[in-house]
Amino acid sequence: MSSALPSDSPALFDLPPAVPDFSLESAARLRGFWPVAGCDEAGRGPLAGPVVAAAVILDPENIPEGLNDSKKLTAKAREALFETIFDKALVSVASSSPARIDRINILRASLDAMRRAVLGLALPPAMVLADGRDQPPGIPCRSQAVIKGDARSLSIAAASIIAKVTRDRMMAQAATIYPAYGFDGHVGYGTAVHRAAIIDTGPCPLHRMSFRPLRQVE
């Protein structure tokens, strides 16, 4: 037996793709919380390198076009938006080193980098929208954890781009100091090439020795 979908119930594959918007920021503003900063991090998963966090306050009258979750953008698009965001928004960046990650764990190191990024903004926000399930502790304003926030909030999407491009540039620089690992290609993630280099060469100071693949490395 066949059945027709009601005219107001489109098939799932006909729905438009989800893109971030400014609705969370606008809702906060209506409640009296302004400015609003979006905050995100890049680099929780890699075996090497820092975790980098960014906080961004967008101008609602001058939002860069094309903002999206950094993972959904090409490297060329991210680089172009990186410059545009710095031109049109308030931006702050902070990072936690591999040594700090090993000392306090990756989640705490990520949240602490997010906290410092927020505190580094030239204009203190009244509300912070933080990507993920956790809110950065120790910030002197309201905050809201937003799951998949980089796909929902333009401010978080902007922060995701800043954090991703900043970290990629840091790892490209690291590749010139530690060329044996190919950091400019995999940016520290546990690819087969990277794991083979660790076995052949041993870890360097940028490796996170608390991460499982490196715990047994002498």
Question: What tens digit of pLDDT does each residue of 119-151 get?
Answer: 999 999 999 999 999 999 999 999 999 999 999
Fill in the amino acid letter for 68. N
Q: How far apart are CA 37 and CA 52, in angstroms?
A: 16
Does this model's pTM top 0.75? My answer is yes
Q: Environment class of residue 200 by beta-carbon count within 10 Å: exposed (0-12), middle (13-18) or buried (19+)?
A: exposed
- pLDDT > 90 in the chain, percent: 88
Give pLDDT, residue 212: 87
Half-sphere exposure of residue 139, counting CA atoms within 13 Å on the CB side? 29
Q: Measured in whole angstroms, how far is the alpha carbon of residue 153 from the centre of its chain? A: 13
| Beta bridge partners of residue 8, listed in sequence order | none
Give the pLDDT of residue 1. 42
Task: Grade residue 213 by pLDDT with cuts at 50, 70 and 90.
Answer: confident
Which pLDDT does position 215 carry in this prediction? 83
In this prediction, residue 82 carries a pLDDT of 98
Stretch among 123-127, 128-132, 164-168, 214-218 having the lowest mean pLDDT: 214-218
Average pLDDT over residues 28-36: 98
pLDDT value of position 125: 98
User: Is it the case that residue 201 has pLDDT exceeding 70?
Assistant: yes
Return the structure tokens found at 134.
Answer: 């956790």
Report H helices in 70-216.
75-88, 98-104, 106-119, 154-177, 183-186, 192-201, 212-215
Cα Rg of the chain (Å, integer): 19
